Amino acid sequence: MAARTLIQIPPLSRKGDVIEVRTMIAHPMETGYRPGADGKVLPRNLIRRFSCTYDDGASRELVFQAELFPAMAANPYLTFPLLVTGPGTLVLTWEGDNGFAQTETLLLRVA
């Protein structure tokens, strides 16, 4: 089942702009330190990696990558900068425990 994601970029940017990509994904980020209702420690369930590649049609380039640890809040929110070099597609990937993997793509519109 796909987790809900929220991704925001400016609707239209210009070449040479530095935009901020804001991302959030619904995920409990269970730390593995927290006791549940029955007093037993809940098993760890984390998103461990996030990456963003920029595909401008000719080539794909990794533009941002992050490694996440238990100290990230639930529903991990991350914003990162991006230099706009031309229109293209952003591919955002989250990977984590229990085989969690999710990919979202969005179009970067350039005036």
Partner 1 sequence: MTSAMPSGASPDAGPVPGLSRRTLLAAGVGAGALLVQTRSVQAAALPPELEAAIAAFTGGAPVREGRVTLDVAQLVDNGNAVPVTVSVDSPMTAADHVVALALFNERNPQRDVFTARLGPRSGRARVSSRIRLATTQKLVAVARMRDGSCWSRTVDVIVTLAACIEGET
Of 43, 56, 52, 70, residue with least CA distance to 5: 52
C-alpha span between 29 and 71 (Å, rounded): 9
- Which residue, 58 or 73, is less far from partner 1 as judged by CB? 73
Q: Does 102 bind partner 1 (CB under 8 A)?
A: no
| Shortest Å distance, C-beta 30 to partner 1 | 10
Of 48, 1, 4, 45, residue with least CA distance to 23: 4
Query: Within positions 28 to 47, which residues make up the interface with partner 1, using CB under 8 A?
Result: 31, 33-35
Q: Which residues bind partner 1 (CB under 8 A)?
A: 18, 20, 31, 33-35, 54, 61, 63-74, 76-85
